[in-house]
Structures are given as C-alpha cells and as structure tokens.
Amino acid sequence: MQSQSHEIRVTAKTLDGALTEAARQLAVQEEQLDYRMVSQGGTGIFSFLTKKVEIAAWKKDVNFDSMMSDEQELEELSPQEIDALKNDLRKFCQEICSYIAGRKIEVSAELDDGRLILDCDDDYLAAQMLKNSKLAEALEHILRKKPRHLKRELPFRIFIDVQGVRRRRETDLVELAKDLSEKVHENKRPIVLNYKSSYDRKIIHMALDKDERVYTKSIGTGPNRKLMILPIRKKGEEAIELGDEG
C-alpha cells in the first residue's frame, strides 16, 4: 500500500491539468504516475462555475516498505553537490548529443525555476527537435536515470533545449493560449487544437489552468489525441458548436 507521506495533492480544473501538474511536481512523465481521485468538484446547481478536480498522485512502482522513515530521510544536497551533479549531467548530455550529431557539441547548463536547463548549440539537433519533440523527452528520460549513486530523486527537473528552441516554443504556446482564451471567452465557442505533441498540449494545459474563464480538456486517443479549450458557462448560457484552430 502506498504511503500517504509520499503522495502529493494537486487541484486543477480538469483531470488532465491535475495529472500534468502532478507530473511536473514529481519530475516524471504522466505515464509514470499513479493517482486516485480525491474530489471531482461540486455537484450543486452552480458547480460548473467552481468545478475543480483534486487528485492524490505518486510515482509508479515505488517500494514504500523499503524506503526510509521520515526520521531517516536523506539530507538535502549541498550547493557544492548540486553544482557537481549539474556538471556531471551536462557532460553526459554533451556526450549523447555529440554522438547523435557525429561531432563535438557544446552544452551549457543553468538552473532556473527548479529546472536544470541543458542547452545544446547545434543546428542539426535544433532541426531534429523541431521535427520531433519526443527526441528531447527521450534525452530527458535518459539523463534522469544517470545519477544512480544518489539513491534519491534529483533536486531539479531536467529540461533539454537546443539553441533555445524549446523555450521559445514554450513562450509562443503560452501567448497562443492567452489569445485563444480571449477568443473562446468572447465567442463562447470551444476550440479544438490539433497538436500532435503531448509536450505542446501540456504547455497549453498549464498556461490556462488558472484562467477562470476557460478550461482545457484532452479528447481522442493515441495519434488522434487533441486539446479542447472550452468556455466556463454561466447559468442560462447555451452551448455553441466547436471551432477548429490549428
């Protein structure tokens, strides 16, 4: 049975949004989460105005019986240990990226808002990541497995970038999400986004999670999965047919 001390509680407007935020806080992919519903929102006549989903989430396949008690938990890493870990991961990332590109690649590393951003300076890799966001996610997964000697979770999330491509993409998606939120709110018409990348959908989910006028919802499965942005309706408002965007 999972220990409550290793769960986190997350509240969001949708289950997708809650899972996205839980994965971010636990520094894992959503597929690596287990969760249970704590609350599915209100059930009264005005519940659609305040509807929230709360989940308890934890990482899959954790042997809680073998984990240390609260009194025996590992001490926080020192700044020197974090710096050494950051440099070790930077070098490992550089080795992998150099192998992929077939030449030596320079990789920079910086800590920003709980993320270790590893930025590779290479035109070829930048083009590949623009074509396939799964490449960056695969590299992040490999790097998370590297420091096995820690016997604990990394003190930061790993974020792979190439020449700032993904961070600029994040900025563009957040701005797009704000613009579409305005459009959905004004027209009272849902919009369906045909983004194939789960990473793109996740950024938009997170950007709009605290927007009180709209909410997001994933529909479809596999390669047909899409993202909807819907207006939060007031009493008496009628539903309007879907609009497409992108």
Q: Is residue 27 part of a domain?
A: yes
Residue 222 placed within a domain:
yes
Q: How many Å apart are CA 105 and CA 103, to the nearest integer?
A: 6
Amino acid letter, 133: S
Same domain, 159 and 85: yes
**Are 119 and 155 in the same domain?**
yes
246 residues of the chain, pLDDT tens digit each: 444 447 898 888 777 778 888 888 887 777 678 888 787 654 443 343 445 778 888 887 644 444 444 333 445 788 898 999 999 999 999 999 999 899 999 999 999 988 999 999 999 998 888 888 788 888 988 898 877 666 667 888 899 999 998 899 899 999 999 999 999 999 999 999 987 677 888 899 899 988 999 999 888 877 788 899 999 877 555 555 555 565
Could you tell me if 154 and 177 lie in one domain? no
Report the CATH number that the domain containing residue 180 is assigned in CATH. 3.30.1370.50
User: Per the domain annotation, does 230 fall within a domain?
Assistant: yes
Domain interval for residue 40: 4-67
Residues 186, 235 within the same domain: yes
Of 132, 144, 162, the residue nearest 59 (C-alpha)? 144
CATH number at residue 145: 3.30.1340
Domain final residue pick, 163, 194, 227? 163
Tokens of 12: 């969001």
Q: Which of 14, 46, 67 is the last residue of a domain?
A: 67
In a domain, 74, yes or no: no
Domain count, the chain: 3
Together in a domain, 185 and 152: no
Contact between 181 and 211 under an 8 Å Cβ cutoff? The reply is yes
Domain end residue (candidates: 67, 89, 112): 67
